[in-house]
Amino acid sequence: MSLLRCAKLMRPRASMVGPYARRCGGRLSRFKTHVLNKERQLLSEEIASSADLSEDEPPTPSSSGLNAAGILFDEDHVRVWSPELVLYTPLGFLLAAFRSALWILGIALDQPWFRNQSIVGTYMRLLGVTVIWRHAERIPIGRHVMVSNHCSVGDLMMLFSHPSLPQRYTHLITSALPAQVTRARHLPVIMRPASPATYDELASTLDPSPVHLFPEGGMTNGRGMLRFSRGFMRILQQQQQQQNLCHVQQEHVEQLPASQQGGISSAVAATVATLPVVPVALRVNSSLSGVKTHTLNSSFLANLFWFGFSPRTTLEATVLPPMFPAPGEARGAFVVRVQAAIAKELDVEVYEMTIQQKRMLAGRKRA
């Protein structure tokens, strides 16, 4: 009898809960529909702007490209052997061989002590490299994307050790380098291959580490710049999509009771900030002006050898004010604006030549 009475008592309670459950279900359904509509809108905007995210145009031969190559790339590592340079050559060869081996050894050993500041400083002195930062106070403390021009095989050492740098950078490198480079875990910087999958992973990760890359995709002699690739905009694009989705989530957080909004609102707001892009103008000064660290078709090891040939090399990095895409600004236009700021600081021209065209010209020369 007690069980029957309990069942009878439960019936009216179930009837009372039923309408409430239907109302909650209706609100949940409307919430899902609203979010899906927002996602469809974001997807349509992404499709509409896909032209800005497409890969750079395939290389095509042109007279302008050949003219640019004559300005941007040297034909020989040493064009004129002066008497002083001839006398220095035996010592230069010894230094270059020792420093090349030191480069390779640092990557091959991949030891935790390579993160020690004093060891890194000694390592750079043995390599003959000095880094000078100008306006380093402009570097944001939080996560950001740092982009710079590319003049030598040793440019990355500007990130090896400096008190103004907020933390360890993730550097995107060409996949043409040996896999051992990207497998290293204890270098002063984290090496990752510059691929669409890596861009997407960096865009969605919660890792606060800043990102650095050379958007030219290859080196020049510093007398001009290759046209920047738009690959790093994939990070900013997905960050913007996350920002839009966070705004959608925030609208529904505000509908919750006030006692539940605080923690959720903070978590949502933490993912809203847009990443700043920090342009850096890089100058490379060698104590041997007649020696060029690379040519149009020289190999990585040859570039490494001639970079170490000079007694001393100075990397001068000038940090420009952080930049953000303007509302409604096309991604390609923003990349052009970032590169124009670096070119203006360096007082050089940006040539309509891509890394793909450089590789094509180098292949023709080797053939």
Task: Write down the domain spans for the chain.
Answer: 1-47, 62-366
Quote the CA–CA distance of 155 and 177 in Å, as a whole number.
15
Q: What is the mean pLDDT of residues 103-116?
A: 88
When comparing pLDDT for 194 and 295, which is higher? Answer: 295
Q: Does residue 250 surpass a pLDDT of 60?
A: no
Q: Does residue 300 surpass a pLDDT of 80?
A: yes
Q: Does residue 350 surpass a pLDDT of 50?
A: yes
When comparing pLDDT for 178 and 89, which is higher? Answer: 89
Q: Does residue 248 surpass a pLDDT of 80?
A: no
pLDDT at 256: 56
Place of tokens 């991949």: 110
Tens digit of each residue's pLDDT (9 = 90 or more) over 129-166: 999 999 999 999 888 999 999 999 999 999 987 766 76
In 3D space, the residue among 277, 297, 289, 253 whose CA is nearest the CA of residue 337 turns out to be 277
Place of tokens 């103008």: 281
Percent of the chain with pLDDT over 70: 71
Q: Does residue 337 surpass a pLDDT of 90?
A: yes
Q: CA dist 169 to 47, 219, 353, 363, Å?
A: 31, 20, 28, 33
Tens digit of each residue's pLDDT (9 = 90 or more) over 176-221: 777 778 888 888 898 998 888 888 888 888 778 899 999 999 999 9
Q: What is the mean pLDDT of residues 19-23?
A: 46
Mean residue pLDDT across the chain:
78
Q: Does residue 62 surpass a pLDDT of 70?
A: no
Q: Does residue 353 surpass a pLDDT of 80?
A: yes
Q: What is the mean pLDDT of residues 17-23?
A: 45
* pLDDT band, residue 8 (cuts 50/70/90): very low
pLDDT at 203: 85
Q: Which range among 48-52, 248-252, 340-344, 353-357 shows the weakest confidence by mean pLDDT?
A: 48-52
pLDDT at 198: 86
Pairing of strands 211-213, 170-173: parallel
Is the dihedral angle over the CA atoms 305, 313, 154, 355 positive or is it negative? Answer: negative
Burial class, 138, CB count within 10 angstroms (exposed 0-12 / middle 13-18 / buried 19+): middle
pLDDT at 267: 43
pLDDT at 9: 42
Q: What is the 3-state secondary structure (H, E, C) of the chain?
A: CHHHHHHHHHHHHHHHHHHHHHHHHHHHHHHHHHHHHHHHHHHHHHHHCHHHHCCCCCCCCCHHHHHHHHHHCCCCCECCCCHHHHHHHHHHHHHHHHHHHHHHHHHHHCCHHHHCHHHHHHHHHHCCEEEEEECHHHCCCCCCEEEECCCCCCHHHHHCCCCCCCCCCEEEECCCCCHHHHHCCCCCCEEEECCHHHHHHHHHCCCCCCEEECCCCCCCCCCEECCCCCCCHHHHHHHHHHHHHHHHHHHHHCCCCHHHHHHHHHHHHCCCCCCCEEEEEEEEEECCCCECCCCCCCCHHHHHHHHHHCCCEEEEEEECCCECCCCCCCHHHHHHHHHHHHHHHHCCEECCCCHHHHHHHHHHHHC
When comparing pLDDT for 341 and 104, which is higher? Answer: 341
Q: Are 280 and 346 in contact (CB under 8 A)?
A: no
Q: Which range among 29-38, 88-97, 98-107, 324-333 shows the weakest confidence by mean pLDDT?
A: 29-38
Percent of the chain with pLDDT over 90: 46
